Amino acid sequence: MRRGSLSRRLRFMLFIVVAVMTVAFIVSTFLIIRKEEQDSAVREAEIRLLGLSGRVSSSFESYLELSRLIIMDDDVMRFLRTSSGEVGPDQANDAKYGIQAILNVTTGVDSVYIFRKDGIYTCTKPKVYTLNDTIFSQDRWPVRVLSLEGRPAQYVNGNGALMKINNQPFVSIERAIYDINNQQLSGYMMMMISKSVLDQDLMAYPENNICIISRTGNYVTGNRDLVKYYNISLASYDCEHQIREEGDERLMVSGMGIKGTSLVLLSVDRMEGTAIPGDTMRIFIFLMAVIIISLTVIGRYITLNITRPIFKLSRAMESDRNAEELVPIEDKLPRNEIGLLVDSYNSMVTRIKHLIEELLSKEQSVQRAEMRVLQEQIKPHFLYNSIGTISALALESGSEEVSSALETLGRFYRNFLSKGDREITLEKEVAIVRDYLSLQKLRYGDILDDEYDVDEEAGDCIVPKLILQPLVENSIYHGIRQKGEPGVIKISAHIVEGILHLSVYDTGVGMSYETAQEIMSGKKKITSGVEDSFGLWGTIERVRYYSHIEDVVKIESEEGEFTKIELLIPAVRRREVS
């Protein structure tokens, strides 16, 4: 089997396809596993964050309600309404006790601060927190809280205004306080909530993969090591997810801001790989098996119906070549495109054999024609010597006309034989005709006249030898002589568009239209041992063989008036030195 054969390439292509499909299957499985573990991590993180967000929001709702009750407490309002000169320990203590009475329902509040506009304040647990400044007046209150006009705001670690003595993080709920009677700003409230409240919410998630931080990234509670994965894009109120590479580990970092607060939930999960569900894996394996089996069946089908028949066809053609003979292929092959190819090959073989037979037949016809010409010739040396002897005797006897006729006859046969050449110039061919007609005039006298119209450039053209003399002879014996009155034979030669138009015209008896058409069609058959009008038919066949053109003759004739036979030969000029 040849190296570049179709079968080898087909097997290689099938191997490539199977290999590509296998690689695609492995890559697809890997990508699906990656996608599945990513989706699983996203689902788990969203469940965790949404659940924790709900718990934290629910916890803070109760503290927001407590903050509203505090700013509406009568003792607190009395402390804020008292003029600066009249504020004393009693008003501050009354406000503190009123706040403590409200806070008895919870243990999550560390302390509550109430600030007057003049900087005087009271708090429930003064030793738990320290103020950064000794005076906390209106011009220092957060602008954002004032803009809320009494609605609560939440900060981590008191927005920097307070610090817990043990440096523990906390969450503050802050509100601007407005007088109920005149709706004028009268003070400021800060409620500090211990991180233990958030710790209790985190107890439902013991995996240690979550923490709570501020929007600015300050740690509040949970796993402190997770803070390094935080960025502001994770603080959206919708769950946001980011995949991080840490060594050989892939991490799913998820974040979610808690609405109404400055808190952000941060979750980090290690994606350790999730197995593809069994049903999905079985479907993949089934599809892979179907693809491989299908490719195998296709390859087998192509081998049986294409490659093997082509090999059989190639072997049959090679056998014909080695046998040096064209033989139709007889092997049984599929009746498909291969079968059509075999039929085309067999048709081509039949056509080639037919063309060879036609070529051999034409060659034999030409050889027979030339043989007839040779059979009618006389051996040159004997002929020349005999004519020379007779011419000398005629001169000795005083018969100069006989001597002249013999010299003309000798010249005719010298040109006629032309040293055995098969091709001569038209000029020499016309010279042969002139000598031939000179001899014929000795016999027929004034009954015969000849004319010539040969272009100079046409005289240099190469033509098959003896194509004019048979036509002229045919004009004499089958045309002028049968008419029984003087006649004219005219030889013409012209070149038109690379074609030599060579014609013989006679004023003889002519021929019928049917006879002329039969001669031009080339369908004349030999009906006896001798061909009718041998010279005309043989000449036409020779010109066809010489020119490799079928349409080489035109005949114009009118019965009782004239006949014109025109030969069409490719004009090939060559100046020969005689």
Sheet holding 553-558, edge to edge: 448-454, 487-496, 499-506, 562-570, 553-558
Q: How distant is the alpha carbon of residue 471 from its chain centre?
A: 66
pLDDT at 531: 43
Distance between alpha carbon 222 and the CA centroid of its chain, in Å?
59
Q: What is the pLDDT, as a whole number, of residue 461?
A: 92
Where in the chain is CATH 3.30.450.20? 43-270
Q: How far is Cα 112 from Cα 101, in angstroms, rounded to an integer?
A: 12
H helix count then E strand count, the chain? 16, 19
Tell me which residue of 164, 120, 156 sits closest to 138, measured CA to CA.
Answer: 120
Report the CATH number of the 421-578 domain.
3.30.565.10
The residue written with tokens 């509100």 in the block is 175
pLDDT of the residue at 375? 46
pTM score, two decimals? 0.48
CA distances from 250 to 42, 386, 501 (A): 13, 122, 96
Class of the 43-270 domain?
alpha beta
3-class SS at 544?
A: helix
Distances (CA, A) of 71 to 90, 147, 370, 424, 514: 18, 17, 141, 138, 136
Three-class secondary structure assignment of 444-455: HHHHEEEEEEEC
What is the gyration radius of the CA atoms in the chain, in angstroms?
63
Where in the sequence of the chain do the CATH 3.30.565.10 domains occur? 421-578
In this predicted structure, what is the pLDDT of residue 542?
Answer: 83
Which residues in the chain come in under a pLDDT of 50?
A: 1, 375-382, 525-532, 576-578
pLDDT at 294: 80
With beta carbons less than 8 A apart as the criterion, state whether 177 and 80 touch. yes
**Per-residue pLDDT reduced to its tens digit, 136-195:** 666 667 788 888 888 898 888 877 778 888 888 889 899 999 988 888 888 999 999 988
Q: Are 326 and 319 in contact (CB under 8 A)?
A: no
DSSP, collapsed to helix, strand or coil, labels residue 379 as coil
